[in-house]
Amino acid sequence: MTSPTNPVIAGFHPDPSVCRVGEDYYLACSSFEYFPGVPIFHSRDLVHWTQIGNALDRPSQLRLPAGTASSGGIYAPTLRHHDGRFWIVTTNVSGDGNLLVTATDPAGPWSEPIALPGVVGIDPDLAWDDDGACWCTFAGVSQVRIDPHTGICLGEPRRIWSGTPGAKAPEAPHLYRIGGFWYLLLAEGGTERGHAVSVARGPSPAGPFEPCPRNPILTHRGTDRPIQNTGHADLVQAPDGSWWMVLLGVRPHGGTPGWHVLGRETFLTPLRWVDGWPVAGDVSLEAPAPPWPLTVAAAEPVRDDFDRADLHPRWISLRVRTPEHCTTGDRPGWLTLRARGGSLDDLDVTFVGRRQQDRYCRVRTAVDASGGRGGLAVRLDERHHYAIELADGEARVVARIGPLRTVVAARAVPGGPVVLGADTVAYEGAQDSRSGPDCVSLGLARPDGSLDALATLDGRYLSTEVAGGFTGRVIGMYAEHGTVHFDWFDYRPAPPSSCGPS
């Protein structure tokens, strides 16, 4: 078996929170403006993870208004198991504020949300003490006791720790009872290059808390490590007594400042205890091998023929998904998308995609656009995306970069379904401070599956360092006018080919 690799969950899967039940591990991530929200993963070894569902998969659970901006929506869930149930507490920054859902099966269904109106900060955490009291700790860092069954606060929030003096954005707190102390783990320094993990401990859930003398216990700021922005961590203990940390990080590429295009990803590192304080292990591209047999998860299919009545939980849409605009029921074996009136530049576009999880990948989809206009897009947000679309017997490549939108190339195509393609490839230009992270080629698929590229575009413009925000690339299908049908969608990792500067 090959050595396990980091990230253990690749692509736009930030803010991981983990819990263990017996020999099974479960993990939840942020989802921002995408629906369904809060992807849920399962593992038996902490290294290989399989998505089993989404916690917020009904419109009644996840209300994202039409004006929800990209990088709005759902922030930083905490996943816990207590009293025979799974609990998730998270923040909808664009709608309902802090909310809590529960389930007996982490694959779902999850309950309707319980509102937490008295919890006024993001990144909420849940912890129960020996008396059964439930403590909610949130960014700031403040804390309040709550009734988790009603959402009512049982007191007034109070500040309990602010992290390292002078460090910005103390957030993502997690509270644990370990041995004779309560440990408070938090992120600080912002989620960019200065990100870090610090810890304090105290005699009770409410403190008082003393900081670890070796804070931060984990950071890659100011280093040339291939993984950067390390932070927003959570801890879990394995059945053998060992401790582990999941955290987010990014893999920047190219010249200065280094561009990350896949978003913030989930990484794994071991944890040990020295003098009553946690010491994080090395976070490298080679994941730590736990001292138990690895259980390789079944490989996810690279191709979806849309033969199921419902979509696999990996598929995500923008803000909402309704049968009226997205269905596999109209034409058996096809995904049908109906435009809601907007283009990829707008908030109300009909879009179904999956996270880009590989630096280099090859995507193909068969499209029948005889009843409308739509195609294949590589998306970061409304102002940063590349697409190849079909309409009126023509395929054209469209680029949106900030305020600029242009048709880069166009070609006549025959009637009937057309196979569109997008490849992410290595940047071959002069390797200096201006080198991009990759290139995105868009075009038509040849009979052998290779790409006849209409245009090859610089990938840096679909990066967080250019666009801002908290998400990563999502590659998928869209309809911006009329009705567009998709017969199949094929995503697979690819060896690096190369492109010149564009």
Active-site residues: which are they? 15, 171
Q: Distance between CA atoms of 77 and 440, rounded to whole angstroms?
A: 32
Collapsing DSSP states into helix, strand and coil, what is residue 84? coil
Task: Read off the tokens for 489.
Answer: 């969608």
Is residue 79 a contact partner of residue 18, using CB atoms and an 8 Å limit?
Answer: yes
Residue 281, judged by CB atoms within 10 A of its CB (0-12, 13-18, 19+), counts as middle
Q: Distance between CA atoms of 380 and 396, rounded to whole angstroms?
A: 19
Task: Name the residue among 238, 484, 248 with its Cα closest to residue 365.
Answer: 484
Task: Name the residue among 320, 356, 424 with its Cα closest to residue 95.
Answer: 320
CA atoms within 13 A on the CB side of 57: 19
3-state percent helix, strand, coil for the chain, nearest multiple of 5: 0, 50, 50
For 233-293, what is the HEC assignment? EEEEECCCCCEEEEEEEECCECCCCCECCCCCEEEEEEEEEECCEEEECCCCCECCCCCCC
Q: Distance between CA atoms of 43 and 63, rounded to whole angstroms?
A: 29
User: Residue holding tokens 């949300």?
Assistant: 113
Within 10 A of 270 (CB to CB), how many other CB atoms are there? 18
- The helix or strand, by DSSP H or E, that contains position 466, with its residue range, turns out to be helix 464-467
- The helix or strand, by DSSP H or E, that contains position 464, with its residue range, turns out to be helix 464-467
Amino acid at 77: P
Strands 74-82 and 50-56: unpaired
C-alpha R_g of the chain: 23
Q: Rounded to whole angstroms, what are the CA distances from 52 to 17, 109, 235?
A: 15, 11, 21
Q: Distance between CA atoms of 250 and 267, rounded to whole angstroms?
A: 9
Beta partners for 171?
A: 187
Strands 134-138 and 451-458: unpaired
Is residue 8 a contact partner of residue 268, using CB atoms and an 8 Å limit?
Answer: yes
Task: Name the residue among 217, 167, 175 with its Cα closest to residue 192.
Answer: 167
Task: Read off the tokens for 349.
Answer: 């576009």
Q: Distance between CA atoms of 336 and 334, rounded to whole angstroms?
A: 6
